[in-house]
Chain A
């Protein structure tokens, strides 16, 4: 096994379920303390390693903690237990086009969004053509993005995010965007990434996509890690468990 690109050690993430959420001063003062809550562990004791250069899939039913794990990886959530270490530049594609300003043009938004994703102006300058080209919106690049169709919006967002050229790319179900042609383009892009030795971590509900793309898969259920291993056996274990429930 090659070096791990990402190491996840006994990671746990706790959410507070508020019976009464005190977001107002009045209720805080009336009750005398901040709030009444119960702990809910969305993730507990998850340990796994993602090998460098692999495409790694996370599968599981709704509410199994996949997205929470992804958000912990992307540093949006901080794990309450354990730690996550990674080597190399990381970029997360949890939602494309977040941070677009509707009144600004596509061009201005490329620079804005690029810098939110951590690119320097120089980097964006050098990749500008590529981004516009990949998104296929060059005709409308000087129009405010609020006039874009939802497809154009998403394509532009995706093109910017993919141009960050991370060593580790984290993707959450965003492949289900755009038309068939654009999806094809995306798949090719992922293959490129893989061939250049980049690590991709993705969440998907489409077992078909997971089977074609991933080298390894981790199966999560109710916040716990059920199995990690090569794609076919893990996906099979997962689908078998679903069949079992149905029977």
Chain B
């Protein structure tokens, strides 16, 4: 079903890498005990500031239900009747009614939620989307430091093998800031589109010319860039490397007319939307054994200043957003957990982040303005799910940050750091998150037993 895997020399794979070198010559001090797993971490960024109080609202009997209802009228998630939230067993929280699959994953113990999560630093707090996103993704506790993303620092310090075909992908046109500076990440909006296939057929590429020895545009292109001294040249060569790596992979969805296309397992349906297809591309790469450690994917559209809607009404904009998230994550989990080769989700973890939460008090446009504390999700077969982590700071006015927002009680880096340490085998938390010293695991992730990690096929 899948095309032939990329081949690597296993001796190279086992060699590991010594201290990685940053451009400019500074050496990274990485722990001698750093070990490597073959786990994949998928970071889903809910861009625009997801209204956490609508995704996970205080349900019936929750001490803050009264405060919630007092602040939320047009955007309220009811606990009974039309559009009632989905109560999470053993708690008095409820998920948005459009998150039915997420609730199911929670019940099965594969999904955990962290309340009161957010950016404890920076100090001062910022309510600018663009600043807050950049701060979160550079992960230096405020500001953007040297412009290097936290995932880039992870890749540098994770003691990865010397050769990995595709250590990281960033789904989108523009590289996620968390991977900024990395020369090892492939950025692409869509696997299906990411190929040079629109030139005229006889001369586009050797693989469609039908003539042995013909050098098409695709084959000649690198020579233009390899010899260039322009600043853009390294980026262009990385693009050509990426295109070349993925050229043999058919990213289109399986169909009768495309039998070499990708067929998700377990009847998983990613739908036709961008978010679903990007998750499908990631799942395919996981199964394709290209050494994928990190994937980033965005779901935008959460900046609901206006007309956020309510599940109690026919107009439910936020609910539509939740549905996309729900369906995408559900398909991804189903696909990767039911493959004939085994349960890939044991070694794949998904974490969601958002730059901040939204104002507790809704506005008169039926929306919510920028806030602070939010909720993070963690999904995987190695996640200790079915639990809500963190401390909810409360919705009484004297409990709110600046009298207006949900406060932050869990630094988002605490959750991400645990994923790094427990799943990706990278103990260099202080390097990945400079200045962050408060790390202690919340127990969200089961620790990956490195010795048990089998070599995926494709690494001979």
Say whether A associates with B.
no
Chain B residues packing against A (C-beta within 8 Å): none
